[in-house]
């Protein structure tokens, strides 16, 4: 009986799901060592990202409940149980199959739901020098991968608040999975006004909306290069943010994506802009201008999540704005880029209120020398 060559075996294995790969490790010692090999892990991840396969949506219903929704069909859901804690959890970021999580005790850990491996991050104190802090600090997080050093990094920025609108310079730290430790980096030159914000990864940089001065009401886009570990401001497209009652920054298809929702007479409009050349203002392209999103009469906030596998549709998460607050997501719809038609995603297992993150199944390991 003929046997497959090793190269052909690897070619077949790279297209399988993580669930199948974990089962096939029992076939032989050779298969087990091949699947655990760092080269194969990167090969499998690269194939999943290029072909837009092995993707799912991670939905957080409440602090404890997580659902995985298969991205190919959006019909198959599975309950997944986060590790290590009985406390409410929030997702700080999702990257290459790893989730960065934080519980209500500010304990941070990394988790690969596909392999069910997890790791608690070492704690790090906030090192403010000022003693006149009067209010809870603002804390911004971001999680991403830096390919040159082959390292996963978590960024934490904390800024304290004093009396009379005083803002003290924030502390910024970076955690490295490779070294399993935190480092303080130079202080930033902008201001954080919200209690907690989570950054988005695009073009090997993390991004947040911040303020250049304490008195400013205009938010600015700042990026953190994971390689150089330096911040830079990026210019937004020339459209009037004053009329937008909601706008936000996401990453979609690897690029920065800005969504603005606003009213025109008796109509709600959702504009989606994509930065085609990173850092170049004139490269912002309005790819979608969606009138009356899904014919919803209330105040919808439509956030794009990802392109379909063939690239001709965009999946939107529809939330609602009420009393100047954006409620959590309530439904998914497909927007056809060609016909501009909208298709509702019917899945009775999807909860009526949730937070959502895009996720790719992977074999990416954690630090074997760290606390599990």
Per-residue pLDDT, 327? 52
CB 201 within 8 A of CB 144: yes
Per-residue pLDDT, 66? 84
Per-residue pLDDT, 298? 55
Q: Is residue 360 part of a domain?
A: no
Q: Is residue 109 part of a domain?
A: no
Per-residue pLDDT, 1? 42
Q: Is residue 207 part of a domain?
A: no
Q: What is the mean pLDDT of each run of 10 residues along the chain (372 residues)?
A: 76 92 92 94 95 88 78 80 79 94 89 93 74 67 95 90 65 93 85 76 90 76 93 83 69 87 78 92 90 58 84 83 52 87 78 80 81 51
* pTM to 2 decimal places: 0.88
Per-residue pLDDT, 244? 57
Per-residue pLDDT, 203? 92
CB 269 within 8 A of CB 290: yes
| CA 48/CA 223 separation, integer angstroms | 26
Per-residue pLDDT, 328? 55
Q: Is residue 314 part of a domain?
A: yes
Per-residue pLDDT, 325? 47
Per-residue pLDDT, 324? 45
Q: Taking the CB of residue 172, how many other CB atoms lie within 10 A of it?
A: 20
Length of the chain: 372
Q: Is residue 283 part of a domain?
A: yes
Q: Is residue 132 part of a domain?
A: no
Q: Is residue 27 part of a domain?
A: no
Total domains present in the chain: 1
Domain range for 278: 235-339
Q: Is residue 54 part of a domain?
A: no
Coil/strand/helix, residue 221? strand
Which one, of 50, 54, 4, lies nearest residue 30 by Cα? Answer: 4
Which one, of 171, 128, 149, lies nearest residue 228 by Cα? Answer: 149
């Amino acid at each position: 009986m003929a046997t497959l060559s090793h190269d052909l075996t690897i070619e077949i294995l790279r297209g399988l799901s993580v669930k199948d790969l974990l089962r096939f490790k029992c076939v032989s010692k050779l298969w087990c060592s091949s699947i655990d090999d760092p080269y194969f892990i990167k090969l499998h991840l690269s194939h999943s990202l290029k072909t837009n396969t092995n993707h799912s949506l991670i939905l957080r219903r409440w602090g404890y409940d997580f659902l995985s929704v298969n991205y190919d069909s959006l019909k198959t859901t599975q309950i997944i149980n986060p590790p290590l804690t009985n406390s409410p959890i929030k997702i700080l970021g999702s990257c290459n199959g790893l989730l960065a999580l934080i519980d209500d005790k500010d304990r941070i850990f990394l988790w690969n739901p596909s392999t069910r491996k997890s790791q608690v991050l070492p704690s790090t104190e906030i090192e403010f020098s000022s003693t006149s802090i009067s209010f809870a600090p603002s804390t911004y997080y971001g999680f991403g991968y830096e390919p040159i050093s082959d390292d996963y990094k978590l960024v934490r920025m904390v800024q304290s608040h004093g009396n009379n609108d005083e803002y003290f310079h924030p502390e910024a730290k970076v955690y490295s999975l490779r070294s399993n430790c935190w480092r303080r980096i130079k202080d930033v030159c902008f201001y954080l006004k919200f209690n907690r914000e989570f950054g988005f990864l695009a073009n090997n940089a993390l991004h947040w909306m911040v303020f250049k001065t304490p008195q400013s009401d205009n938010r600015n886009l700042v990026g953190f290069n994971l390689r150089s570990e330096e911040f830079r401001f990026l210019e937004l497209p020339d459209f009037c943010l004053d009329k937008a009652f909601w706008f936000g920054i996401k990453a979609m298809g690897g690029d920065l994506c800005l969504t603005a929702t606003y009213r025109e007479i008796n109509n709600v409009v959702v504009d989606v802009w994509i930065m085609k050349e990173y850092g170049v203002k004139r490269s912002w392209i309005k790819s979608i201008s969606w009138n009356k999103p899904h014919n919803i009469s209330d105040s919808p906030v439509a956030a794009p999540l990802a392109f379909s596998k063939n690239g001709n549709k965009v999946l939107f998460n529809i939330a609602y704005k009420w009393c100047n607050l954006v409620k959590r997501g309530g439904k998914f719809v497909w927007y056809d880029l060609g016909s501009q038609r909208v298709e509702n995603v019917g899945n009775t297992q999807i909860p009526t209120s949730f937070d959502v993150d895009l996720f790719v199944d992977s074999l990416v390991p954690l630090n074997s020398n760290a606390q599990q």
